[in-house]
Amino acid sequence: MMSPYLSDKSKSNDSIQLIEGDKFISDPKDVVEVFNEKYVSIADKIGCDSIYRKDISNHPSFNTIDTHMQSLGIGEVFNIQPTTIPEVTKVLSKLKPIDNKATS
């Protein structure tokens, strides 16, 4: 029987408490500010100059594909060419939509 463990007399605590560095944060306004700061800066480094921006030959994805091609006996060097927005748009415009209607 579960009823002794499920009591409606207990008070629910819906507050969020954080530890940020060495600081304990429980005030709702401060908690919101911490989350806000994290979320608004989450993509700051996307598109920034990285060690792979100009030379992708050491990028982990490139190395994985290259290793796989070598394991298949494909001796060609894997090469990724830069693309442009018009090139991507052209390819996307040729795609046919999938019919998502459920079959009965």
Residues in the chain with pLDDT values less than 70: 1-13, 45-57, 75-80, 100-104
Segment 29-45, tens digit of pLDDT? 998 888 888 888 877 76
Q: Residues of 1-28 as b/e, b for ≥16 C-beta within 10 angstroms?
A: eeeeeeeeeeeeeeeeeeeeeeeebeee
Please check whether residue 31 is in contact with residue 18, taking contact to mean a CB–CB distance below 8 angstroms.
yes
Report the largest interatomic distance among the alpha carbons of the chain, rounded to a whole angstrom.
Answer: 71
Rounded to two decimals, the pTM is: 0.34
The residues spanned by each domain of the chain are 16-48, 51-80
pLDDT at 50: 60
Q: What is the pLDDT of residue 103?
A: 54
CB neighbours (10 Å) of residue 66? 16
DSSP 30: H
